[in-house]
Chains A and B, each alone.
Chain A
Amino acid sequence: MLIELLLATAFVAGLLVLLVDDEVAPRLAFALSLLPLLVSLAMWAGFDGHGNVLLGGQAAFQTVVPWLQLGPYALNWHVGVDGISLPLVLLTTLLTPLAILSAWTPIDERQSQFYGLVLLIETALLGVFVALDFVVWFVFWEAVLIPMYFLIAIWGGPRRRYASVKFLIYTNVASLLLFIAFVALVFGLGDAVSSFELPAIAQALQTTAPSALAGVPPNTLKTVAFVAMFIGFGVKVPIVPFHTWLPDAHVEAPTPASVILAGVLLKMGTYAMLRFNFTMLAGVARSLAVPIAIVAVVSVIYGAMLALAQQDLKRIVAYSSISSMGYVILGLVAYTTYGLGGATFQMISHGLLSALLFMVVGVIYNTTHTRMVGDLSGLADRMPITVAVFVAGAFGYMGLPLMSGFVAELFVFLGAFGASFSAAPVFTAVAMFGIVIVAGYLLFAMQRTLFGAYRVDTDYEAERAPLHDIAPLLVLVLVVVALGVAPDLFYNMIQGAVNPIVHLAAGGGV
């Protein structure tokens, strides 16, 4: 019941905050957002799952309640967490209160609506990570769009209307695509499944060959479904060339929304890829390893190059997300323990680090009202703590040892280097070059804006940020370092959940 409690606290908090006055909304939202965090910490403490929930493992805090019967198919409210989803749940519950704190300064109109929507989006995101029935999962997956649409459209930058509609329609098309692909796959299994439960379907896919559906031969069906789902999830990730909504949405979104967007929302895509593409259809994924690796490497390099070309600090961080997500996909396709584990760890690590960088950029913007590299110089003198955090976050991004980014990227590279698909070392080497570009643009941006003589080319002065702006930054730095020093806080459970996938892909069965 802890999972229901988790979702209920976030949902009720959201509704409650929507109803209160603007004056009390920020504080109330922050206080209430600590409840899901506490529940998720309790889940962490009491976690007793093992293995991969889709491949016969035991999920923790599992509940199954019949929802409805659709002809021969039973649809159930089925939730539970394993070593892959629990870290993402914790990431979500941690980032939400921090995002709410970081909103106290910049959000000065319609507060109750803003914080209410943030809490509602948290509910939907948590639902995505805990749902184990396809239809329930899909409800949450789509539900994320509604609050995000409002967050971008109401509190965004000058082109927010365009950006919000683009985000909404782009990701909705992707959802429709993956829905049709997955449902076709399930119907292809025929009588082998009698529900839309993800574990049942995942296991049936390993033991039963799908029959032809509507004249499409089974293997083609699997491949087509894989590609359609890969694209459908890839839009959320985003992978090149389906990334064009991301910079628009990010640049126009208010900082706290960007934190949620980059920190958690993108992970929905890679999480779903891991569950659907790389676990359920491991065979297809292995046969398509080279094209997928190409997509991953292109995302890494191209995303980094795009970031290099930006003048807007927020755009730099936004584009660098594309690059970081490329590493996740490279790790997934490697099908080694380090690769899959590192990819999952990278989801967490990137969630923390990108949130950190977005918040730092937000703090700088709050006081200077500009994000352009050319408008800023020598901020270190005026905002020493913020600048220190910026430097720490940037080095974490580049993969400095003792920070989570190092662990994540090291594992991904180790895993990908040892992968069995052809030319895996070459792909890995090219992807590693992405780090150099990341270092390039981050160092360049920092040098220009943080150091040198103080200068701000707007009508505002850089001033020390208030405590509620700084506090979330420090919390994030602490967590990033903690995970860098002791990755086993999460890595053990992640490894326990990805090993069955490696075993399966090596031909070992469920």
Chain B
Amino acid sequence: MAAFTLPALTPQLLLGLTALAVLAYDSVFPEGDNRRVLVGITTAGTLLTVAVTGFFLASGTGLPSTGGAIPLFHGQLVVDGMGLFFTLIIGSVTLLVAVASYDYLEGHPYQAEYYALLVMAALGMSLMGVANSFPTGFISLELASLPAYALVAFLKHDSGSVEAGLKYFLIGALSSAVFAFGISLVYAATGSLQFGAVAAAVSGASNLVGLLGVGVLMVLGGVAFKTTTVPFHFWAPDAYEGAVAPISAFISSASKAAGFVLAFRLFVTAFPIHTLAPMGIDWVLAVQLLAVLTMTLGNFAAATQESVKRMLAYSSIGHAGYALIGLAALTGGQNAIVLGAAMMHLFVYGFMNTGAFLFVALAEYWDVGRTFDDYRGLARQAPVASVAMTVFMFSLAGLPIGGGFVSKYFLFLGAVGAGFWWLAAVGAANSALSLFYYARVVKALWIDDPLGEPVTITDRPTGLYVALLVAAVVTVLLLPFFRPVAETAVQAATVLFA
């Protein structure tokens, strides 16, 4: 052990400092085109966060090898493998989005605010990963959400962007209210707010089962908003479509991952199913229903879209359905594999889905249009970016070109092993359907000829290309070098159940 150890919350502290540094720089030098510096600060800060988090994970912080989870502030926060794992996802997505935004936001005002909000939202999301009580969870969720509302509405002269922001905000506010009310009911039934204490108290709440049950359901509804689980998904397609594309990438990847980590910790730690199920509060059953609904609706809706961005929005709902298997297939005796696989899937998803939205950002940057037809023949103009997009599409569809293949099949494998073969079967049917619409993008890029005059592309924005290629390379490399992700995820999940 080194003599000097970093505080366990270093990644979060770094994110907070980065946001403040961006604001501080902008208030000292408000004039002129300073976006290079702003992007520089953001990139350096998030890169450092990712590096520190990766180092923590590699050295076993919060994992059994170094003494297990590290509770902080009397168990209000807990730094463990899962929290760090998701901080790594969120940090990586933020990094990609920040780099890509450099070109995308060229010429827009309020750049400092944009990057500060982005990093603050990332901070809130990573805090969701370590929150270990209802108040910290709720506050982190709000810290993640409020900047995100503003970011979605960032193009304030674009009616689509503003409408998307408003829709996101209204439904978000409603969900927060539902969440808060659920928390109050749980508190009324158990008298505790810290997850571990709630778990200890639920068995004594047998005369308040009704109250507790409604509370659990409302809490589920609250997090379902963040994870875009049907029927709390209505905001997602509009928000993803209306927002600037890098922000769509950010919200659909990072924010979703944050929602899931909160849900995983909350339900596994605070509402242990082996205690709640005998009381009649079988939330696993509810999640199973939600998982089936979410993947089916997401995929069917995605299959009927004409706009690529909207297709990606719905497909992102479909993937939320797959990730829900992580909770839905618990109690089958393969908990660590199931939950670990969901974590792995969200990890790979962080790269492949972000990459896909960044390709849309690139297409918007070039003004090629939004529909499948507009993408026709683009591969001839931009072969490198098209290869990257092909990687994302096939990896999302679960073909072995990237890590998405392994993580998706591990999820199905876990579900089958837990005895929920029907859950895997529904997932499989959806996965086959998803191949249809993902292949449409590939077909448009490589196979179809342009309908009208092909767009001429002269300008290759460096930031967007770098982010796109990094995401693609990571996605591909995650297939052969999946080991650290898979083993860390399963270990972290094991710790959670211990």
Contacts and interface: CB of A to CB of B under 8 A. Distances in A.
A45 interface: no
A139 B400 contact: yes
Interface in B322-354: 332, 334, 336-337, 340
Interface string A406-428: 00000000000000000000000
Taking chain A's interface residues, is the majority helix, strand, or loop, or is none over half, making it mixed?
helix
Interface in B405-441: 405-406, 409-410, 412-413, 416-417, 419-421, 424-425, 428-429, 431-432, 435-436, 439
Contacts of A140: 400
Interface in A147-175: 149-150, 153-154, 160-161, 164-165, 168-169, 172-173
B334 A142 contact: no
A270 B142 CA distance: 56
A509 to B, nearest CB: 28
Taking chain B's interface residues, is the majority helix, strand, or loop, or is none over half, making it mixed?
helix
A179 B435 contact: no
B394 A146 contact: yes
B158 to A, nearest CB: 35
Contacts of A69: 483, 486-487, 490
A149 B409 CA distance: 21
A319 to B, nearest CB: 26
A173 B432 contact: yes
Nearest to B334: A71
A141 B394 CA distance: 15
B446 A150 contact: yes
Interface in A108-152: 135, 138-140, 142-143, 145-146, 149-150
A213 interface: yes
A67 B482 CA distance: 8
A70 B416 contact: no
Interface size class on chain A is: 35 or more
Contact of B486 (A70, A160, A215): A70
Contacts of B340: 70-71
Contacts of B443: 153, 161, 164-165
Contacts of A213: 419, 421
A143 B400 contact: yes
Interface string A186-213: 0100000000000000000000000001
B436 A165 contact: yes
Given A70-B486, A153-B447, A161-B447, A146 B419 contact: no
A191 to B, nearest CB: 12
B284 interface: no
B432 A70 contact: no
B417 A180 contact: no
A154 B446 contact: yes
A41 B422 CA distance: 46
B287 to A, nearest CB: 17
A177 B428 CA distance: 8
Contacts of B416: 180, 183-184, 187
Contacts of A467: none
Contacts of A176: 412, 428-429, 431-432
Contacts of B413: 70, 179, 183
Given A68-B486, A153-B447, A168-B435, A179 B412 contact: yes
A284 to B, nearest CB: 18
B279 interface: no
A169 B432 contact: yes
A161 to B, nearest CB: 7
A145 B399 contact: yes
B400 A183 contact: no
A398 B465 CA distance: 57
A280 B412 CA distance: 22
Most chain B CB within 10 A, of A71, A143, A164, A184, is at: A71
Given A172-B431, A176-B429, A180-B424, 8 more contacts: A69-B486, A146-B399, A169-B436, A173-B428, A173-B429, A176-B431, A179-B413, A183-B416
Interface of B: 332, 334, 336-337, 340, 394, 399-401, 405-406, 409-410, 412-413, 416-417, 419-421, 424-425, 428-429, 431-432, 435-436, 439, 443, 446-448, 479, 482-483, 486-487, 490
11 contacts: A71-B337, A135-B406, A138-B409, A142-B405, A143-B401, A146-B394, A165-B436, A177-B428, A179-B413, A180-B416, A214-B419
